[in-house]
Amino acid sequence: MYPARFAYDVPGSVQEAVDLLGRYREEAKVLAGGQSLIPLMKFRLAKPARLVDINRIPGLNVLEEESGVLRIGALVRHRDVERSAFLRDRYPLLASAAPQIADPLVRNLGTVVGSVCHADPQGDWGSVMLALDAEVVAQSTRGERRIPVSRFFAGPLTTVLEPDELVTELRVPQPLARPFGTYLKLERKVGDYATVGVAVHLELEDGVVRRAGIGLTSVGPTNLKAQDAEAVLIGKALDDDVILEAARRAASAADPTSDVRGSAQYKREVVRVFVTRALRQARAARAA
């Protein structure tokens, strides 16, 4: 309940922030929503010597389309995504996932970027970003680096970020046409981590899949991209056998552990069930 002591800085610009991170590196942690970091600090599982609070930096709450991408700034809260009407149409996967993050109170403070940087394999946004082929934009005193999310996660709670880097935004490619997207999350209650989460993003043209993204939550050491499942969908219509095969491949791609939420086999079954349901939903939506 009582965090250890730390020094505290409130930079007023991205430049100030990266200067601080450049100077203090591993000793410093970025504080945005704090809804993952502060709980760890209260258990003293995290004891950063310094917190760099980026909440006062203007411009980091950008949430808009620009030059072919949707920009999600570092201070965009889960709640902002949940309430955005235009995202519901253009980015239905984002709209579907947002209300399922944690609980309403945590969503008021927690940030999308923060969640992705936290890199919890049980975190939902990572799978969503994998399904959307998003890109991480990281700033440091050395300049800007763009990292595809598919190469961002290195292991549980570990990313490829350098200690002096600050992620300022995520960039999601604009869909070609009106996409289908859904996030199916098996949680034992509101606020629980996913037992299994499946993010599906599809772009169809005349009933044929042009782009497919499938991200998996809580079934591996990181969020996983079910590439083989995605591949089998490209160029095909959503027939029963195509759906079956995609679901089967997604379940094989899962690498879950057995724990109190269920056996590894159970979790693979749920991946299969969820992918099947999502693809059937996409087919029904297209028919409607």
Partner 1 sequence: MERTITVTVNGKTHTASVEPRLLLVHFLREVLNLTGTHIGCDTTSCGACTVLLDGVPIKSCTFFAVQADGRRITTVEGLARDGELHPIQQGFKEEHGLQCGFCTPGMMLVAKALLDENPNPTEEEIRWAISGNLCRCTGYQNIVKSIQWAARRMREAPAAGR
Partner 2 sequence: MATKIEELGGVGVCLHRKEDERFIRGKGQYLDDIKLPGMLHMEILRSPYAHAWIRSIDVSKAKALPGVVAVITGQDLAAHNLAWMPTMSGDTQAVLATDKVRFQGQEVAAVIAETPYIAKDALELIEVDYEPLPAVVDPKKALEPGAPLIRDDKPGQTTNHIYHWEVGDREATERAFREADRVVALETHYQRCHPAPLECCGCIADVNPATGKATIYMTTQAPHAVRTVFAMVTGYPEHQIRIISPDIGGGFGNKVPVYPGYVVATAASLLLGRPVKWVEDRTGNLISTGYARDFHMRGELALKGDRIIGLRVKVLGDHGAFYADAQPSKFKIGLFHICTGSYDIPAAFVEADGAYTNKAPGGVAYRCSFRVTEASFLIERLVQTAAYELGMDPAEFRRRNFVRKDQFPYRSALGWVYDSGDYHRALDLALEKLDYARWRREQEEARKQGRLIGIGIASFTEIVGAGPSHTFDILGLKMFDSAELRVHPTGKAVLKLGTRTQGQGHETTYAQIIASELGIPARDVEVQEGDTDHTPYGLGTYASRSTPTSGAAAAVVARRVREKARKIAAHLLEVSEDDLEWEPGRFYVRGAPEKGKTIQEVALAAYTNFPQGLEPGLEDVCYYDPPNLTFPFGTYAVVVEVDRGTGQWKPLRVVAVDDCGVRINPMIVEGQIMGGLCEGFGIAAMQQITFDEQGNCIGSNFMDYLLPTAWETPRFELYETITPSPHHPLGAKGVGESATVGSPAAYVNAVIDAMAHAGVRNIDMPLTPDKVRAALEEVGLAE
Residues of the shown chain interacting with partner 1 in the complex, contacts defined by CB under 8 A: 1-8, 31, 34-35, 38-39, 41-43, 51, 53, 55, 79, 102-106, 108-109, 190-191
Closest to 152 in 3D by CA, of 179, 125, 173, 174: 125
Contact (Cβ atoms closer than 8 angstroms) between residue 202 and residue 177: no
Q: Provide, rounded to whole angstroms, the least separation between the CB of residue 275 and partner 2.
A: 11
Q: End-to-end alpha-carbon separation of the chain, Å?
A: 51
Q: Provide, rounded to whole angstroms, the least separation between the CB of residue 51 and partner 1.
A: 7
106 binds, among partner 2, partner 1, none (CB under 5 to 8 A by kind): partner 1
Please report how the helices 240-253 and 264-287 are oriented relative to each other, as an axis angle in degrees rounded to 10.
150
Q: Provide, rounded to whole angstroms, the least separation between the CB of residue 88 and partner 2.
A: 21
162 binds, among partner 1, partner 2, none (CB under 5 to 8 A by kind): none
Which CB, 171 or 267, lies closer to partner 2?
267
Contact (Cβ atoms closer than 8 angstroms) between residue 65 and residue 45: no
210 binds, among partner 1, partner 2, none (CB under 5 to 8 A by kind): none
Please state, in angstroms and rounded to a whole number, the distance separating the CA atoms of residues 171 and 154.
Answer: 20
Is the alpha carbon torsion for 37, 42, 44, 50 positive or negative?
positive
23 binds, among partner 1, partner 2, none (CB under 5 to 8 A by kind): none
Closest to 96 in 3D by CA, of 14, 179, 159, 184: 184
Q: Which of residues 98-137 bind partner 2 (CB under 8 A)?
A: 103
2 lies in the binding site for partner 2 (CB under 8 A): yes
Binding residue (CB under 8 A) for partner 2 from 60, 63, 270, 278: 270
The encoded tokens of residue 40 equal 């760890």
Q: Which of residues 243-262 bind partner 2 (CB under 8 A)?
A: 260-262
Strands of the sheet containing 208-217, edge to edge, are 180-186, 196-205, 208-217, 224-225
Please state, in angstroms and rounded to a whole number, the distance separating the CA atoms of residues 201 and 130.
Answer: 10
Which CB, 35 or 182, lies closer to partner 1?
35
The encoded tokens of residue 254 equal 């899962």
Strands of the sheet containing 7-9, edge to edge, are 7-9, 50-53, 28-31
Q: Residue for token digits 């995504």?
A: 81
193 binds, among partner 2, partner 1, none (CB under 5 to 8 A by kind): partner 2
Which CB, 8 or 178, lies closer to partner 1?
8
Among 19-27, 29-37, 106-114, 265-273, the segment contacting partner 2 (CB under 8 A): 265-273
Q: Which of residues 28-57 bind partner 2 (CB under 8 A)?
A: 44
Contact footprint for partner 2 (CB under 8 A)? 1-2, 4-5, 44, 103, 186, 188-193, 195, 260-263, 266, 269-270, 273-274, 277
